[in-house]
Amino acid sequence: AQSVAQPEDQVNVAEGNPLTVKCTYSVSGNPYLFWYVQYPNRGLQFLLKYITGDNLVKGSYGFEAEFNKSQTSFHLKKPSALVSDSALYFCAVRDKSGNTPLVFGKGTRLSVIA
């Protein structure tokens, strides 16, 4: 069975500071990993994914995420937060073997304070 944990319901960070949103996963095989962002009254927007290759993945809006197999983590990071980054962030996983839908975490609300 696949699962995703986002241990923080809320993350607060000052504008200009680095931000990290945490995600850990569990799959039986090798994972495909994803990050999505949701702004108010909008659907989820794809940010970035890890399929294979470099452990550091770069995505939209200056975000990046680092795949760490030993810690089964895929934390989302940005060097300098913007107020406009305030939104709900979802981590998702699926096993490379099989044809299953993505499994989403419960989401982390990021607030960037000016």
Closer to other proteins by Cβ: residue 15 or 44: 44
Per rule CB under 8 A, is residue 105 in the interface with other proteins? yes
> 10 Å Cβ neighbour count for 95?
18
Q: How distant, in Å, are the alpha carbons of 6, 20, 72, 95, 97 from that of 28?
A: 19, 26, 12, 7, 9
- Provide the minimum distance between the beta carbon of 66 and other proteins in the complex, in angstroms, as a whole number: 18
Which of the ranges 11-19, 21-29, 79-87, 93-101 carries the binding residues for other proteins, by CB under 8 A?
93-101
Per rule CB under 8 A, is residue 25 in the interface with other proteins? no
Closer to other proteins by Cβ: residue 82 or 102: 102
Contact 82, 113 (CB under 8 A): no
